[in-house]
Chains A and B, each alone.
Chain A
C-alpha cells in the first residue's frame, strides 16, 4: 500500500472529511425567486386547466345573449362575457385546457421525434445525409400549409392541429439536436465510453443525450410559445378548434371583431397566452440550469 499512500499524500488536496450534501433538483430550482414564481405559476395554470370542469362557474357553451359582450365586473361576471354572452372565466379555463394540451402535445411529440432523428443523424453518420435532406424537405413547408393539408385529410379540429404542429416541429428540433450532438460526439468521453464496449443505446442515452439537454430545453420552451401562436393562427383560419369549443387563440381571433366595442374579449385571452408562454419559458430556462451539474453550487 506504500505506493498508493505516497501518492495520496502528495496528490490529495486538503479536503473535508465528508462530502457536503447536495440539494435536490427541485430545491435548486426553487432557490431562484423568478424561477420559483414561474414554477408556481405553471403548476397553477396546469391545475386550472385540469380542474376546469370543477372550477368553472358555468357551462362553457351556456350562452346568455342578454349579457353579450358584458364588460368585466357587470352582472357578477368578473371578466365579463363574450359576444355570445358566455362567461369569460369559464371560456378561459376551458380554453387554457385545449391550448396548453395542444402546445405540450405538439412540442413533446414533434420535439421527441425530432430529437431522435437528430441523435440518429449525429451518431450514425451514414444516414446523416439522408435524414437531414428529409428534414430539409419538411422545413421548406410552412406550418400553416401542413395544417391545411392535414385538416383536408383528417378534417379540421384539435388533433389535426397537433399533428400539423408536431410535423412542423420535427425538422427544427432535429437540426438543433444534430448540431449539439455532433459537438459532443467529438469529446473524449464519448470515445472512452466506446472503449468500454457499451452498446449504442446506452452510449446515446447516458453520454450523448444528457450533454445535449441545454439546447433541447431552450428550443422546446421557445417552441412551446410559437406553437401556441401557430395553433391560434390555425384556429383563426378555421382549421383548428371548431366553434363552440373554447381555445385561447380562437377566442382572441373571435374577439378581434369586437375590438372597439368590447376589447376585453380579445385582450384577456391574449394576456393569458402571454402568461402561459412566459411562465413556461422561464421555467424551462431554470430547469435547464438546475439539471446541469456544472451550475450546482
Chain B
C-alpha cells in the first residue's frame, strides 16, 4: 500500500485510487460532502453545485473534480456551508415544494439536505411556478412541481434503460423536465415499472401509484437518520475506510 496517494480534505488526509473524483474518495473514506445531483452509479453531472468545495483556492464541484495527490480541499468552511445553504434555499423557492402533502417526504434528498444545512426558510420570494402533473400513465405519476433538474432520471433512462423517456428542454429559468413522446405524456412512452429511471429521483417527481404512504411520515429514511449518515452507507467503500462515522450519527 506504499503507493497510496492522498489529498487533504479540511486538513486531513484522504486516500484515493487513480480516476476517483474528490467526492468518491471522500465518501469512500467516510467523509461526507453534501451533494444532490451526484449518484454513485452514474457519471457525475456537476449541475446542482451543492458539493462545491474549494480546491487549492478555486471553487469546484467535488463530483467532477478528479482527486490529485496533494490537493488541498476545503469543504466544511463557513463560506461553503453558507453557499450550499443558499443553493438549497433557491431550489425550494424555484419549485413548488410542499412537503406536508408530498409522498416523498422523509425520503427526499432535497428535504434531508435542508435539514442537514439548517434551512429554516426558502428566504427568497417563492416563484410558485405553474407545472401541471402528468397522471396519464396507469402506474406512474409525474409531479413536475418538485423537479430540481438533476437529470438523474434522464441519465438513467438513456444510459441504463436505453429508452430516453425523459429529457430537459428550454434554457435558463425556462428549463424543465419533459417526456419524450409525440403527445408529451408518459402513457405514450415505453417506460416500465422496472426501469432504473423510476428509482433514482431524489425528490418527489416520479411516483408509483397506489403505494403511497405505505410507510408513515415520521418513520422514513431521513426521519430516522440524517442524510450525512445515510449517504456514507450507500457509498462504495475503500479498503482502508473506517466504519460509519460516530460523529455523523449524532446529527447536528
Q: Are the chains A and B members of one assembly?
A: no
